[in-house]
Structure 1
C-alpha cells in the first residue's frame, strides 16, 4: 500500500524528491526491503531511503512505498549477506539495526550495497566509507549499552518467585543481553522488561534440563501500575535483601576516596533510579563503619 500521490498542483522539482521504502521495524522487515530494492532495480537511486514505519514523517519531497515483510525473501537476503560479510559482518548489521537510529535502515543498505558491489573487498575495514564508519561507531555505542545493561540490571524478588528487573536502555539491547543472564541464572525464574519498548524476556527454569537451559520467552502487556512501582508484588524478603545490599554498598564506600565525576563517567546517572544501592537508605549513617 502506498501513501496518497502528491498533489500535482504543487510544482515540485523532481530532482529534489526522494524514494522512501517503509519496512516493518523488525530485522526481517528490513531484509525484505533490501530484496525489494534489488528486485525493482532501485539500488543505484542515490536518493533512496530505507526507513522503519514507526520513524517515518510524511513529506512533500518524498514518495513512500510500504514493503510487506516476506520471510522467504528475507531468508534469501540473509543467506547472501552471510556469504558476503561473514559472522562478524552480520553481527555488525544486527547490532546496528538494534540501535534504532532514525536513518539506520539506509546506512545498513549502503553498507550492503558496498559489499555486493565489491564482494572481494573487506568492506568492514574501510572506515573511509562514511556508511561503514557510521555503522562501526553505532555498533560501538550499542556494545557499550549492552555491557552496561549486563552490569547494572537489578532484580527484585516477587511473590511469584520470579526475579524481575526494569530497564530503559538507549538501544534495543534485550536480544543481546538475554544469553548472558540465561547462562548466569539457570537456577531461578527471572524476567527483564524494557519500559521504553514495551516488551521483556522471561526465563522459566522449569523448562530447562541439566544439559540445556530453557529458551527465553518474550513477554508483553504487563500491568502499568506494577511497571511503575513493583513494590506491590515484592516478596516478604525483598525489602530485607535491598537493605542488606544498601548496607554493603555503604560499608565498602570510602568517603575520602570519593570521585563523583569519575563515578558518573563509569556509572551514568540515567541508570541510578533502578539501582537499589542508589536509593535512600534511612539508617545509612549507622551502617557506615567507623574508620
Structure 2
C-alpha cells in the first residue's frame, strides 16, 4: 500500500490542485514561502500561504511545508524594499489574520506585474483592500496600547506591565516606550503570545530586547512583587480617577467606545468598582 502523507512527498506541488505553502509563523518564514512560490513558478497557480498552526489538512489541496531560509528571506525582503513600503507589509503581517499572508503575497505579485504603478493606492483591488484593513487595525491597536499600558513598580527594579492585544503589536511599541521612559528599566509582556519586550536603562545602547520567559508567579499574582510604594500609588490613582469623574456626565456608551472593555483587565483605575 502506498504511503499516505499530509505533505507532498516530493516537495513539488501538483499544479492541477490548489497549493498551500506552510511556514512557521515568523516574518522570515513568510518571506521564504514567497521565494519558494517564485522559485517553483507557482505565482500563476491557485496558491495560498498560511502558518502551520492555521492550516487544517484536507485532500483538496497540496500542502507544502517551506523551511525558513535566512538568505532567501533576505533576498525577498530586499526586493520588497524596492517596490513596496516595508512598514506596511510588516504591520499587515502582525495582524496575524489567517488570510493576510496570502493577500500580502498577491499584493507583491500585483506590484511586480505593474512596476509603474503604486498598487497600494488601488483600494478597489480585493487584496489591497484586505491588506489596508489589516494595517489600519494594527495601527489602531498600537495607538491604544501606547495609551493603555499601566506599569507596576516591582522589587526587581523593573517596571512591569501586562497586555493582551488583539494583534501582535509588541514589535511596534518598543521604541515609543524606550523614548518615553528612557530613565527606567521596564518590561511589557504579551500574555496572549507568551513573550515580552525589555528595556534596561543602564544599557541604553542595547535598546529594546525580546524576552521569551519570565517568572510565572508575576503573571498570576503581580501584587507579590510590588514595592512598598506601588500599592500606595495605585490607591492614589484610583482615588484621583473617582474624584475627577462627574457622575452627571457619565456616558457609558461613549466611554466604552473610547476605551473598550477588553482593555480594562490591566488598568489600575479599573481594579476598583467601576463607575461605568
TM-score by length of 2: 0.92
SS where residue 53 of structure 2 aligns?
A: helix
8 Å CA contact 1:243–1:281 kept in 2: the answer is: no
Q: What is the deviation of 1:225?
A: 2.8
Instruction: State the Cα distance separating 1:221 from its structure 2 match.
Output: 2.1
Please state how far the C-alpha of 1:223 moved relative to its aligned partner. 2.7
Match of 1:65 in 2: 64
Classify the secondary structure of the residue corresponding to 1:51. strand
| Residue aligned with 2:167, SS | coil
Give the superposition deviation at 1:107.
0.7
Stretches of 4+ moved more than 3 A in 1? Answer: none
The counterpart of 1:234, out of the listed 221, 226, 234, is: 226
Matched, 1:160 2:152: no
Distance 2:109 2:240 in 1: 54
Taking the aligned partners of 1:30 and 1:276, their CA distance within structure 2 comes to 38
**Runs of 5+ unmatched residues, structure 1:** 7-13, 285-291
- 1:174-253 matches, cutoff 5 A: 174-208=170-204, 214-253=206-245
Q: Report whether the alignment pairs 1:274 with 2:275.
A: no
RMSD: 1.8
Q: Structure 1, residues 162-203: CA drift from partner, whole Å, max 9, x if none?
A: 100000000000000111101100001100000000000000
Separation in structure 2 between the aligned mates of residue 214 and residue 48 of structure 1, nearest angstrom: 41
Quick one: distance in 1 between partners of 2:220 and 2:162?
9
The equivalent residue for 2:5 is 4
Counterparts of 1:11-22 in structure 2, within 5 Å, are 17-22=17-22
Q: CA deviation at 1:228?
A: 2.1
Q: Return the alpha-carbon distance in structure 2 between the equivalents of residues 144 and 39 of structure 1.
A: 36
State the 1:214 CA deviation: 4.0
Is the CA contact (8 Å cut-off) linking 2:6 and 2:57 kept in structure 1? Answer: no
Secondary structure at 1:55 match in 2: coil
CA apart distance, 1:273: 1.1
**Alignment gaps of 5+ in structure 2:** 8-14
Shift of 1:224: 2.6
Alignment-derived partner of residue 31 in structure 1: 31
Query: Which of 129, 132, 149 is equivalent to 2:128?
Result: 132
The match for 1:79 is 78
Contact 1:154 1:275 in 2 (8 A): yes
TM-score by length of 1: 0.88
Deviation at 1:5, TM superposition (A): 5.4
Once residues 4 and 56 of structure 1 are traced to their aligned partners in structure 2, the CA distance between those partners, rounded to angstroms, is: 15
* Corresponding residue of 1:102: 98
Distance 2:104 2:192 in 1: 24
User: Distance between the aligned counterparts of 1:41 and 1:145, measured in 2?
Assistant: 37
Aligned twin of 2:12: none
Q: Secondary structure at the match of 2:165?
A: coil
